[in-house]
Amino acid sequence: MNHYPHPILAREGWPFIGLAVVLSLLATMLWGGVAAIPFYIVLVFVLQFFRDPPRPVPDQANAVLSPADGRIVKIEKVRDPYADRDALLISVFMNVFNVHSNRACVDGVVRAVQYFPGLFVNADLDKASSENERNAVVVDATVNGQQHVVTLVQVAGLIARRILCYVHPADVLAKGERYGFIRFGSRVDVYLPLSAIPKVAPGDKVSATTTVLATL
């Protein structure tokens, strides 16, 4: 797995940030400060989109942490097609103003990583979970001596065009550890055992790592 300390600004954004800085400076030199204002607005947007702040990890052993910043759009019992089981689904929708770094929600070992090409419909829609481009990570987690399966699915959205995942089968994940990134608006679906107890409700705003989605 690819580890690195939190750099405040995600490395996935460095090329975009660099380009925005260069264009802003060129516009200032060529046309003056007033004409360059739109370029600086774009620079500010790019900087806020690729921010990647460190987050404190709750100590609660049986807690399932949010893998992303955003808003809860769905909590329901469904079939987990990636681990072939009935599960509790909690979906987190990220807009372009949220942090887009994805974090591990449990301690565990990666059982499988599955990528699926697909469409790019609005990630806020139900059909995005089954029709959009997505990447599923199935994790075997051990909590208080009991085995649980947790599936994390990165789903591309209407604007998102790049899902990045840095883990592979047999990798060991720790809660709050950064494992992926989705550029420009997207969604993360979390499939949990049916026995999991939700701690959030549809419409709630959540923060990656610091918000407890459910308990096992």
CA dihedral 209, 211, 213, 216 (to 10 degrees): 70
Q: Ranked by mean pLDDT, which of 29-33, 131-135, 140-144, 147-151 comes out on top?
A: 147-151
Q: Ranked by mean pLDDT, which of 13-27, 158-172, 197-211 comes out on top?
A: 197-211
Buried b (16+ CB within 10 A) or exposed e, 55-90: bebeeeebbbbbbbbbbbbbbeeeebbbbeeebbbb
pLDDT at position 130 is 58
pLDDT at position 47 is 87
How many CB atoms are located within 10 Å of the residue 109 CB?
A: 14
Dihedral of alpha carbons 41, 156, 1, 198, sign: positive
The chain-wide mean pLDDT, for the chain, equals 86
Q: Is 186 known to be catalytic?
A: yes
Q: How many CA atoms lie within 13 A of 190 on its CB side?
A: 27
DSSP state, residue 158? S
Residue-wise pLDDT tens digits, 47-57: 877 888 888 89
pTM score of the predicted model: 0.83
Q: How many CA atoms lie within 13 A of 148 on its CB side?
A: 26
Q: Name which residue leads in pLDDT, 170 or 124.
A: 170
Question: Which residue in 66, 91, 129, 186 is the catalytic one?
Answer: 186
Closest-CA residue to 112 (of 91, 81, 86, 67): 81
What is the mean predicted confidence (pLDDT) over 76-97? 94
What is the mean predicted confidence (pLDDT) over 187-191? 94
